[in-house]
Amino acid sequence: MSTPPLASGPDGPHALRPLLHTVLHALDTGARARGGPLPAGGPEQVAARLRDTVGDVLPDRGDPHALRTLVHAFARTAADPAHPLCAAHLHCPPLAVATAADLAASALNPSLDSWDQAPGASELERLITAALAREIHGNGTPATPDSLITTGGTEANQLALLLARETHGATVRLVCGANAHHSLPRAAWLLGLPQPVVVPTPHGTLDPDALDQALTGLNGPLLVAATAGTTDAGLIDPLPEIAARCTAHGARLHVDAAYGAGLLFSDRHRTRLTGLDTADTVTLDLHKLGWQPVAAGLLAVRDARDLTALRQRADYLNADDDTEAGLPDLLGRSLRTTRRPDVLKLAVTFKTLGRHGLGALVDRVCTHARAFAALVDAHPGFELHAPPVISTVLFRPTGATDTTVAAVRRALLTDGSAVLGRARLDGRLWLKATLLNPATGPDDLAALLHLAAASRATLEEGHTPR
């Protein structure tokens, strides 16, 4: 057997070119076979269809058509975030230019755990993380801000709690709203921190007075976690007021802006994040309102000195004499060792679109959300939860029970015709449309609402919608 061609090296581009043609063709045929935002049939039928197509995943003899077969099956059984009726989660359709950059990153395969594995990538990462830190924390006077690239909000939130623990000790206590992302209390558990104090959020956001009352009754070092863009409704906590309470009580502040941080690119919407720069640490995800392929998360810190807690020494990666000779030390830039160069797609996107281009995309999806909310509000068969804050709209069939709301969503998923999420707020279950596709049009929004209405009607007639 001859050696299979490699993706990099002098012959890499030549070897990749026909394979890319195969992949693009299979993506096209797979999407056409799927025919909608989600494969029809539900979990059992989709799994059976994939098994039948793939067959033996580790055969004795290789199949020269495996790339075409598997990519076709992968696309046919995928949820397509670029389909305008796929609007359930904070799962964005990636930009083509970012995806193309990701191919280059995969082909060259740098690992950002030592300079000699990623000479240019390490400098590019330094430039991008510094720029994003300044975007959040300004010029950082008197401290110098910085940021680290992560796999997403969960890793960034975990890092934020770790830095708080290393700065203030193992007794630091997390105080967060009931609206906080589940990764925050989970990180407290993982890091062996005291049981978090969870402040009720009956209206969906963290109330500064309720926070003040909770902080007043606590002793020891405290870490308050606020949210800018909740997972359920895209709500933003009152950051300036929360920051003031933290200052009054000497508490450290973390803001989970995994969803909402993308508003910084928009001149129209960035004021919603007033007060973000006061946080000690900030989580952001650019595979949400940044249109990047997964993964593209970051943790920004107001004071780069906090990151000294992450420093590690491994002689084969960052020996003292190498560091003294000028080789950059990368081990303190992550909890991970091997790291792919996710920075390349970010850099290409920023350079290609610029601030105004990214801001225009943010403005567009926020406008789509307001337009969809207006359709819901005008429809006698639906109830709107509230005007959208970012690009998430919660709605439910008028007079429906929670059981019916859940059934409508599952029926659409099984049919493969639309992908809506679910959220429990104000004691009731809501359908959730998370609009992250800038290419969505008015007809798509109307179709999404029509399908939900038709699904309810069909369910009430005792039939399964098609």
The span from the CA of 168 to the CA of 223, in Å, is 9
pLDDT score for 464? 47
pLDDT of residue 465: 43
* pLDDT value of position 138: 87
Residues constituting the chain:
466
Lateral strand order in the sheet of 197-199 = 146-150, 297-301, 281-285, 252-256, 222-227, 173-177, 197-199
pLDDT at 1: 66
> Which residues in the chain show pLDDT less than 50?
464-466
Contact at 8 Å (CB) between 301 and 280? Answer: yes
What is the average pLDDT score of the chain?
A: 96
- Check: CB of residue 232 under 8 Å from CB of residue 425: yes
> What pLDDT shows up at residue 143?
81
pTM (2 d.p.): 0.95
